[in-house]
Amino acid sequence: MRFVDELLQQAEARGEFKNLPGEGRPLNLETNPYGGDTQMAYKIVKDSGYALGFIEERRKLVERVANLREKLRQAAERDQLGATAVDNFRAEVETVNRAIQSYNLKAPLEQFHLMPLDADWEIRHARP
């Protein structure tokens, strides 16, 4: 804990806690009795407009997957799912799956993990 206290003091000395949302007002410290020790810390970080690294990475991956699926859906609607498009999609899925695998190793709890994509399933379900 001493290390964390020192980090907080250094950040305060640099002025990183000035002009935060809700500055000068009491914190809402309602706690969930089942939330564990870190819940309050996560809430304060979130309420201050910040996101933990793994949460931000997860958000970007979910957005990336949604964009990839939308691109595939649009190609299927235009009947442009030829061999080249399918090969390109498979290559993109491999890249995304590597990013998902890397993210899953960093996520602190299994409930935050993302499932890798199955390119064949995605292609089958994109066709009208």
| 9-66 pLDDT per residue, tens | 888 888 887 887 777 777 666 666 666 667 777 777 777 777 778 888 999 999 999 9
Same domain, 61 and 89: yes
Query: Which domain covers residue 97, as residue numbers?
Result: 53-126
Q: How many domains does the chain have?
A: 2
Separation CA 55–CA 78 (nearest Å) = 35
43 shares a domain with 12: yes
Work out the pLDDT band at 68, boundaries 50, 70, 90: very high
Full-model pTM: 0.63
